[in-house]
Structure 1
Amino acid sequence: MHPTGSEALSPPPRQRNRRIDLLRGVAILLVLFHHFCIAYPLNHSSLAMLLTPDGVRAVARNGNYGVTLFFVISGFLITGNALARWGSLAALDARSFYAFRIARIVPCLLLLLCVVNALALAGLPIFATHIPGMSPLAAMIRANLAALTFSTNVFIAHHGWTNYALGVLWSLSVEEVFYITFPFVALLLRRLPFLLVFWALIALIGPFYRMAHQNDESGFLFAYFASFDGIAIGCIAAVLASRWQLNEQLARILQPVVLAGMITLYLYRSIGGTNIWGVSAMALGTALLLIASVPHAEGRFISHVRLLRTVEWTGRLSYELYLFHLIILGLLRTILPASTISATGPDRLMMLAVFFAASCGVSSLIGRFFAEPLNQTLRARLKRAATKNGN
C-alpha cells in the first residue's frame, strides 16, 4: 500500500548502523587531514615518530577518496531508508522524500552561508569570494547562488577555488542533484531490475567520463558524472543488502581482503593518477563493506575500543564536520599563518590536534543545538501538515 500523510513521514524501522558510522568517521577524518596538510604541510620532523614524509603525503594527498566513501554510503542509506519506509521504490512518496532531504540538508547549509558571509563582511579575506573583474559583493552573491542551486562544482569549474570555506559544497551539489532526480527515476522505472540497470549504467559512465577529462581536475574529480557512479553503486548495494545476506563466514574472509585492497589503492599513488578506475574500485570496496555491515549493525566490537568509538562519533557528526571544518581551519590560518608555525618542531602537530578538537566541538554543538532540533521540528510540522491534508 502506498503510504500517505503521517505514514509517509514516519521514520523508517531501522536501527542506526554503528559500522557505517565508523566508516563515515574514517572518511571524514581523511578529509580533515587532507585539508589540514594543504594549509599546514607536515614534514619528517613533525611526524618522525609516526610516519615518514612519504607516508604523510600518501595519507594526506588522497582525501578526495574519503568523499568517494561518503557518496557510496549516502546512496546506500538513502535507498535503504526509502525501501524500509515505503516498502518498494515504486511506492516512494516524492513530496515526503524531498521534505526529508530539506529538513536534514538545508538548515546547516544556510547556517554555513550566513557564517561565511558574515566573516567575509567582517573583513577576513580568506572567507571572501575572489573573482577577477567582479566586485566582492557580486562575487559573494554568485557563490551563494551556486551553493543554493547545488551547482558549486560547476561554479568551481568556471571560476576556480574562489571561496575557501564554500569549496566543500561541490560534493553536496553532486549528491543533491542526484537526489533531485531520485524520485522521478524510481517512479518512472518502478521495477527494481530496471532501476538496477539504470544505476549500473551511471556507474559505468563514471570511469569513462573521468578518462575523457584527465587534463581537467574539475572534470575528473568534481563534475556530476565523475562522481555519480559512487552514489549509484551505493544504491545498488542497498537493494542487494535488502534481498541478500552475505554469509557470515564469507564476510569474515572478504572484509579484511577488501580493506587491504582499499588501503593499498589509497596509499599507492595520488588520486590524480588512479582516479579513472580507482574511484570505481574504492566505491565497490565500500559497497561490499556496507553489505557486510547489515547483519552486524550493532557493531559490538566498537564498544570495546575507545579509538573506534571516537571515530564512530565523528562519523555521526560527518555532515556538520564536513561543512564547517574549513571555517575552523580558515580562522586558524588567519590567526596563525603557516609561515609563523615552525615546520620542524611539534607545533604543527599541536595545531592538528587543536584543529580536530575545535572542528569536532563546534560541529557537535551545531548538531545538538541547531541541526537536529531543526530537523525534528521540520519533520514534525511536515507530519502535521500531511495528517491535516490527509483528513
Structure 2
Amino acid sequence: MASQLSETPPVTPGLRNRRIDLLRGIAILLVLFHHFCIAYPLGHSALAAALTPEGVRAVARNGNYGVTLFFVISGFLITSNALARWGSLAAIQARVFYSFRIARIVPCLLLLLVLVNGLALAGVPIFATHIPGVSPLAAMLRANLAALTFSTNIFIAHYGWANYALGVLWSLSVEEVFYLTFPLVALTLRRQPLIMLFWGLIALVGPFYRMAHQDDEAGFLFAYLASFDGIAIGCMAAGLATRWRLDGLIGRLLQPTVLLGMATLYLWRSIGATNIWGVSAMALGTAVLLIASAHHENGPLATRSRLLRGLEWTGRLSYELYLFHLIILGLLRTLLPPATVPATGFERLALLAVFFIGSGLLASAISRTFSEPLNRILRQRLNQLGKPSSPCGISPEQPRP
C-alpha cells in the first residue's frame, strides 16, 4: 500500500535521517549559490557556456525557495521531536521546549554578532550597518537589537539591507517568532486535530498575505505571515507522518513526480512572479518528501556515493553555513571587488569554489569547536529539567533528541 497506519514517531530521536540531511544540503547550496551570484553574476562565465546564461540565472535567482525548504524541514523536525519527547503535543513542557531552542539557536547567533561587529569596528566597510542620518554605532546597535529580538525582517522592511552579513537573520526571526507560539498553541488547543486545524489556517493565510503585498518585496518574502505557512506545513507533515507512511509502488512513483514538479517550479520563473502560490506549492512538495523519508532506514554509509555523502555533510552543517557564509563572501568582496574579477572565463567559477570551500571550512570549525559542544553541554544541564523530580516531569525513559 502507498500509505498505511503507523503510530511510530516520524523521526528517531538522537539519530540523523540522511534523506532529510540531503534535502537540507540541497537547500543550503541553493541559498549560497544565489548569494554568490548576486555579488559575482555568472551569466557570462564558463558555466554559462554549458547551461546558457538563462539557465544560470534560472538556478541562481530563486535561492529564497531554499529558505522555504528550510522552513518546512524545521517545522517537521521540531514537531517530530516534540512528539517523540512528550508523546503528544498536549503534554509539551514549554520551559524545556524554549530552553532547547535557546541552546541550539543563541550561541551561534551571538557568535555571528561578535564577528560582524568586530569586523565593522576593525574598519571593514561591508560589515558596517548603514542607515542614512544615523551614526555607525547607533546603526550597529539597532541592527543588533533587531537580531536579538527576532525582528530582523522588520528591520529590513524599514531600512533595507542596511547590514550585509546580518540580512540572513530575517529567516531566523520568522522561525523563532513562530516557535514562541508553538507550546502556547499546543497547550491551549491540546487536541491534535485542533492544533492541526490551527496550523492549516496559518498555511492558508500565507498565499493571501503574499497576494496583498505584491508591491512590497519585504512584505511578500520576509514578513512573518508571508513565511509562517512553510513552517506550519512542516508541522502538519510531522503529525501526518506519525500515522501514515508513503511506501510501496505509489510512494516510489510519487517522490520523483514531486521532485520534478518542484524543480520545474524553481526554474520556471522568478520567485517574484510565482511567490503567491509557488511558496505554498514548494512547501507542500517538501512536506511530501519528508513524510516519505520519515521512516526511511539509513543504509551503510560506505554504500552511498561521495556526492550524496557530501550533500548530507553540507546538510548537517546547514545552520552554521546559513549564518556564517556571508562572512566569507563579504571578505571576498572586500579583497576582490566584483568589478576586478573578469565576468567571462573561469575566474568567477574558481572564486565560487573558494567561497564554497571557505564557507564549509568555517561552518565545520564552528560546529566542531563551538556550537555542537556548547549545545551538548547546555542540553545536558537542561535535561535536568526533565527528570521526574523536577516540575517538568518528563519520564527518563522518554527519548530526547
1:179-328 alignment runs, 5 A limit: 179-298=179-298, 303-328=303-328
State the distance in 2 between where 1:299 and 1:75 align. 25
Aligned to 1:169: 169
**Structure 1: gaps spanning 5 or more residues:** 1-10
Which letter maps to 1:383?
A: N
Residue 111 of structure 2 aligns with which residue?
111
Q: Does residue 36 in structure 1 map to residue 27 in structure 2?
A: no
After superposition, the C-alpha distances for 1:162-209 in whole angstroms (9 at most, x for unaligned) are 000000000000000000110000000000110111000000000000
Letter in 1 for 2:256: P
The amino acid across from 2:31 in the alignment is: V
What is the letter of the counterpart of residue 20 of structure 2? I
* Deviation at residue 244 of structure 1 after TM alignment: 1.1
CA distance, structure 2, for counterparts of residue 341 and residue 302 of structure 1: 40
What's the offset of the Cα at 1:48? 3.9
- In structure 2, the residue corresponding to 1:295 is in which secondary structure? coil
SS at match of 1:62: coil
SS at 1:245 equivalent: strand
Compute the RMSD of aligned alpha carbons.
1.6
Instruction: State whether residues 45 and 348 of structure 2, in contact with CA within 8 Å, keep that contact through their aligned partners in structure 1.
Output: no
Alignment of 1:44-193 (within 5 A): 44-193=44-193
- Structure 2 gap segments, 5+ residues each: 1-10, 392-401
**Partners of 1:14 and 1:84 within 8 A in 2:** no
CA contact (8 A) 1:303 1:309 kept: no
Aligned to 2:356: 356
Post-superposition offset of 1:295: 2.3
CA distance in 2, matches of 1:385, 1:89: 18
Deviations 1:245-269 (Å, cap 9, x if unpaired)?
A: 1232221100000000000000000
How many percent of aligned residue pairs carry the same amino acid? Answer: 75
SS at match of 1:68: helix
Normalising by the residue count of structure 1, what TM-score does the alignment of the two structures yield? 0.95
Q: CA offsets per residue over residues 92-136 of structure 1, 9 Å max, x none?
A: 010000011000000000000000000000001100000011000
TM-score, length-scaled by structure 2 = 0.92
**SS at structure 1 position matched to 2:246:** coil
Offset, 1:16:
1.1
Deviation, 1:300, is: 5.7
Task: Tell me the distance in 1 between the aligned counterparts of 2:309 and 2:297.
Answer: 14
Aligned-pair CA distance for 1:371? 0.1
The number of equivalent residue pairs is 381
2:398 corresponds in structure 1 to none
What is residue 3 of structure 1 aligned with on the other side? none
CA distance in 2, matches of 1:238, 1:280: 17
Divergent runs of 4+, >3 A: 11-14, 299-303, 384-389
